[in-house]
Amino acid sequence: MTLESKTIFESLLEWPHRGAGTEEEMMAREMLLTHLEGEYGVNTGEEAFYAPRTYLPFFGMIAAGQLFAIWSAEALLYIALLVGTVFWVSHSLFFDWRQSLLVWFSPKKITANLVAKKGEGRRLFILMAHLDSAPASFAYRPEHVKNFSLSVYLSTVIVGTGVIIPLFAINGYYAPVWLLTVLSAVLIGQFFVSGIDFWRFGYTPGANDNLSGVAAAVAAASRLWRHMPADCEVRLVVPSAEEAGMLGAQHYFEQHEDELLSREVYLVNWDTVGAKNIKFITQTGGFTPVYYDNLLTNTAQQLTQQNVKFKDISSGLHRVGDFDTIWFQRAGVSALTLASYDDEGAMPHIHTEQDKAAFVDLENVELASRFGEALIRMIP
């Protein structure tokens, strides 16, 4: 029998969360491996790596670096400017969803990406869904998430004072102590706000984000393994540390880059598919947009028009955060993410303590799973 999305979803609910690098995540991953090891002819394994458990230490480093830059600007001038620039660029890269090396200097725990594969051939189909659950976030509360993009822009300007103050000092204009005090309070306050909900609530249950995606991806993989498309390998990849900055997928891409860029690869990612309206995402990005215009998105459009079961699925834009597919799409790998939204265009309850199983529509999870499978089978 194939693995069902409902079975996977319910079995992983045993753990209250799956924070990256935590014992709960490890146990959930082991449970998932137990399910997958029963799949005939499928090779399973884990690819371990060290990663930060959340993005909060990175934010703390940014705040500390810019505090140093503004307070040392008068005395150290070019050193302060260098420090401020490095930390501002690192912050900007992070929120443009690009590689930001300072993230990896945060305190790390060992975690792993789960990989299960079957078949061989010219084509490689990767089915992906991250396992880790998010730290609770003040910015994702329903009353705040609509202003997420604005808060990112304001945050970048605030962090940029670590460059502006030293530049003025180099030109003979020194900021008064009162201004430095105000900027310090804003930098510290910004870091405090980013972490307050995590310190209060810890990790979210992560039912929609992203047990729903894992359940959909595993079920689709199980059906594909039963009836393999011709001349292909079907590979399930379940990354960790997505909620720390999509680091598990970044690590996976870097470890397998030569293979991924030399084969005919198609990647379908499921991320938060338990809400009302399922969409295949055609644009993401932070300060610079990322357009998904490839064979997968074009095929997805055809599939919604040709199969009545998928008539309610449509293309969509995503402007809050990003997905694991970004590393692959920017490198030229054909990739697509399936996600779901409410009628206001938001992903309900994600990154909050309300992200519970009661708010997940398992019929939509199964629909997303079937759509991803059908999409792969349509690739010529």
Q: What is the pLDDT of residue 265?
A: 98
How many other C-beta atoms can be found within 10 angstroms of the C-beta atom of residue 245?
25
Q: What is the pLDDT of residue 146?
A: 81
Q: What single letter denotes the amino acid at residue 41?
A: G
- Among residues 256, 255, 213, the alpha carbon closest in space to that of 350 is found at 213
d(CA 86, CA 102): 9
What value does the mean pLDDT of the chain take?
A: 96
With a CB cutoff of 8 Å and minimum separation 6, the contacts of 376 are: 125, 127, 220, 224, 229, 234, 266, 268
Q: Cβ distance 336 to 294 under 8 Å? A: yes
d(CA 163, CA 92): 13
pTM value is 0.95
DSSP string, 44-99: EEEEEEEEESSSHHHHHHHHHHHHHHHHSHHHHTHHHHHHHHHHHHHHHHHHTTS-
365-376 pLDDT, tens digit each: 999 999 999 999
Q: What is the pLDDT of residue 18?
A: 97
Q: What single letter denotes the amino acid at residue 291?
A: Y
Exposed e or buried b per residue across 138-151, where buried means at least 16 C-beta atoms within 10 angstroms of its C-beta:
bbbeeeebeeeeeb
Q: For 361-367, what is the mean pLDDT?
A: 97
Q: For 341-367, what is the mean pLDDT?
A: 95
- Among residues 287, 334, 62, the alpha carbon closest in space to that of 186 is found at 62
Q: What is the pLDDT of residue 380?
A: 84
18-36 pLDDT, tens digit each: 999 999 999 999 999 999 9
Structure tokens at 139: 């910015």
β-strands 277-285, 334-341 pairing: antiparallel
pLDDT exceeds cutoff 90 at 144: no
- Among residues 5, 1, 3, the alpha carbon closest in space to that of 366 is found at 5
Query: Which residues sit opposite 340 in a β-bridge?
Result: 278
- Among residues 244, 265, 350, 243, the alpha carbon closest in space to that of 253 is found at 265
In the chain the first and final C-alpha atoms are separated, in Å, by: 27
Q: What is the pLDDT of residue 245?
A: 94
Q: What is the pLDDT of residue 344?
A: 87
For 136: left if phi > 0, alpha if psi spans -120 to 50, otherwise beta; the answer is beta
Supply φ then ψ for residue 54, to 5 degrees: -145, 175
